[in-house]
Amino acid sequence: MDWGLSVTSLDEVKKLLDGKVDPEGLEINSELYEMAESIYGREALEQMGIDAPARPTDSIVQPNGNAKHEVQMPVEPIPQPEIPPPKPKKRSWWIFIPSLIITITIIVNFVRGIGWILPLCDPPNSGTVCQDKLILTRIIEYQSPDSWSQTMQLELLEVGISSFLLIVMLFSIRKR
* Domain-ending residue, one of 21, 46, 74: 74
**DSSP conformation class of 2:** -
Residues 45 and 101 in one domain: no
Q: Is the pLDDT of residue 122 over 70?
A: no
Residue 156 lies in a domain: yes
pLDDT digits (tens, 9 = 90+) for 159-170: 898 899 999 888
Neighbour count for residue 99 (Cβ, 10 Å) = 19
Query: For the chain, what is the total number of helices (H) and then of strands (E)?
Result: 7, 4
Residues 52 and 100 in one domain: no
Q: Which whole-number Å values give the CA distances from 59 to 7, 32, 78, 112, 151, in the listed order?
A: 19, 20, 14, 84, 87
Choose from 15-19, 60-64, 105-109, 125-129 the range with maximum mean pLDDT. Answer: 105-109
pLDDT at site 2: 46
Overall domain count for the chain: 2
Q: Where are the beta strands (DSSP E) in the chain?
A: 59-63, 70-74, 133-134, 148-149
pLDDT digits (tens, 9 = 90+) for 31-56: 878 888 888 888 877 887 777 766 65
Mean confidence (pLDDT) of the chain: 76
pLDDT digits (tens, 9 = 90+) for 65-117: 565 666 666 777 788 888 888 888 777 788 889 999 989 988 888 888 887 77
**DSSP conformation class of 112:** T
pLDDT at site 133: 83
- State the Cα–Cα distance between residues 174 and 176, nearest whole angstrom: 7
pLDDT at site 164: 92
Residues 70 and 103 in one domain: no
Residues 20 and 60 in one domain: yes
Residues 54 and 102 in one domain: no
Domain range for 27 is 10-74
- State the Cα–Cα distance between residues 22 and 137, nearest whole angstrom: 100
Residues 166 and 105 in one domain: yes
